[in-house]
Structure 1
Amino acid sequence: MWAITTVELKKQLQDKGIWFWTFILPIIFIVGFIAIFSGMNEMEPEQLVTQIVPGYIIMFSFFIMISMVVTFLKARDSGMVARVASTPLPLERFLIGKWLPFFIIVILQIVVLLLFGVIVYDLPLGDPVALTVISFMLAFLSTSWGMAMSLLVKTENMGIALTQVIALGGAVLGGLWMPLEIMPNTMQLIAKFLPQYWALEGFQTILQDDGHVIDIGLSLLILLGFSLVGCVISFVSYPHFLRQSRS
């Protein structure tokens, strides 16, 4: 398992595309949208920063699913999945070994973007323990969904399209781009059924209200529930994924 993780992590970190989606583009969006909304003078500077920085951290954490889809489909089409299935390596260790590098990358993404917010915009971090827990839960959510999608879709284009729907659609409906208070009541209701909304609630409770782990308990439970759904889908879908693999 650890050999798979190490090889996959090195491969991903050498990919220039993942650096763009994971670090460069989120920073461009954060800087651009803070500049736009600062000119409108509708929000206090601290409120603006604690809305946009965690909002785009959450949105772009889901873009890791593109890299996961590409990686899993290449392993399927190259026959590697079939070869691994013929070895004594258990299913769960193979999946964890392929999943863990992406989890690590999302954690790095969150750390880099939070540090960018602190250095450039004086973003308050609040309780470090609570911030660490919500960050790990967000990484678990996005990568568990990424693994489920990787085992379900048939083509890379389908995976990319679905990632955009989940990331961008969830950002709009989940209140990541603008405060839900200024959105219609219907959209405010829809947002509460999306994990993006609860992730943002957790981050803002820590950053704005100096909340602790106990204060974000509901957000953590909901994010954990959505993450476990992704894990269950992954394990249920793996036999079909294996049958599609070239022998």
Structure 2
Amino acid sequence: MKAVFKVEMIKNLQDKGLYFWTFILPIIFTVLFISIFTAGTEGADKEYVIISIVPGYTVMFVFFIIISMGFSFIEDRNKGMVARLASTPLSPYAYLMGKWTPYMVIVMIQIIVLLTFGKIVYNIPIDQPVLLSLLAIILTLCITGMGLAISLLIPTGNMGVAITQVVALGGALLGGLWMPLEHMPTLFQKIGKFTPQFWAHKAFKDAMTGTLSHSNFLVAALVLLSIGCVGFIIALVTYPNFLKRAKN
């Protein structure tokens, strides 16, 4: 498992494109949209927009790590790595954990960098740092758990890109990351509450402003952890079929 983790981590650190998608593009979008939506506003209105956009785009862009996860698993499958590992004592659980944990590290770093950028540049409040930190860990587990399931189910990398875009952008729209949920049609508001983006974004905003109650934190945490756990279980169950498609 440690060897798989090390190889995967080195491979990602050498991927310059990952730095662009993970850090540069989210910062560009954050700056651009804050500039657009705060033009002509001051005081509380401007602060409200910033407190919504910074965690909103943080939550949206962390989902794109699923693309990298998908291509990594497909590369292992097509180059015979999975088949060779299957002939060793390494268990499917250890293989999946070894592939999973590097992306947890990457997503955690991404969240820290984007929120730190928001703090330094826009002085966003962080009134409940402990709850915010726990939410960052829980969101990381949720997204990478989903990524595991998708990575083992997709037949091609392009399919992974398409599914990730639907999940990331569709969830961002319905989850209230682009505009306040209360401004959307009633049907969209109801559907939005079934997205992980809605629960993560709302909890992040409340923790930043110091209004996140422990009961609301537990609800958001339960929803996000449940999604992540279901993703990992799906990955374990579908691993045999993934192995069958692997080249020797």
TM-score, normalized by the shorter chain, greater than 0.5 = yes
CA shift for structure 1 position 203: 0.4
What are structure 2's unaligned runs of at least 5 residues?
none
In structure 1, the residue matched to 2:8 is 8
CA shift for structure 1 position 3: 1.6
Post-superposition CA distance 1:89-137 (Å, at most 9, x none): 1111110001110110000000000000000000111222111110011
In structure 1, the residue matched to 2:222 is 221
In structure 2, the residue matched to 1:24 is 24
Aligned length: 247
- Contact residue 147 and residue 234 of structure 1 kept, 8 A: yes
Post-superposition CA distance 1:181-229 (Å, at most 9, x none): 2212221111111111001111011012343655411100111111111
Partners of 2:151 and 2:145 in 1: how far apart? 10
Partners of 1:159 and 1:190 in 2: how far apart? 23
Q: Which amino acid aligns with 1:4?
A: V
What are structure 1's unaligned runs of at least 5 residues?
none
In structure 2, the residue matched to 1:121 is 122
Q: Which amino acid aligns with 1:57?
A: T
SS of structure 1 residue aligned to 2:194: coil
Q: Which amino acid aligns with 1:70?
A: F
In structure 1, the residue matched to 2:49 is 48
Partners of 2:216 and 2:158 in 1: how far apart? 40
The runs of at least 4 aligned residues of structure 1 exceeding 3 Å deviation read: 40-43, 212-215
In structure 2, the residue matched to 1:74 is 75
Q: Which amino acid aligns with 1:99?
A: W
- Contact residue 82 and residue 246 of structure 1 kept, 8 A: yes
SS of structure 1 residue aligned to 2:107: helix
In structure 2, the residue matched to 1:97 is 98
In structure 1, the residue matched to 2:36 is 36
In structure 1, the residue matched to 2:201 is 200
Q: Which moved more, 1:215-224 or 1:79-88?
A: 215-224
Partners of 2:126 and 2:171 in 1: how far apart? 24
Partners of 2:134 and 2:178 in 1: how far apart? 23
In structure 2, the residue matched to 1:182 is 183
CA shift for structure 1 position 11: 1.1
- Contact residue 151 and residue 237 of structure 1 kept, 8 A: yes
SS of structure 1 residue aligned to 2:124: coil
Partners of 1:130 and 1:172 in 2: how far apart? 25
Partners of 1:214 and 1:130 in 2: how far apart? 12
Post-superposition CA distance 1:149-188 (Å, at most 9, x none): 1100011110001110100010001101111122122211
**Normalising to structure 2: TM-score of the pair?**
0.96
Partners of 1:160 and 1:37 in 2: how far apart? 29
- Contact residue 144 and residue 231 of structure 1 kept, 8 A: yes
CA shift for structure 1 position 13: 1.1
RMSD: 1.4
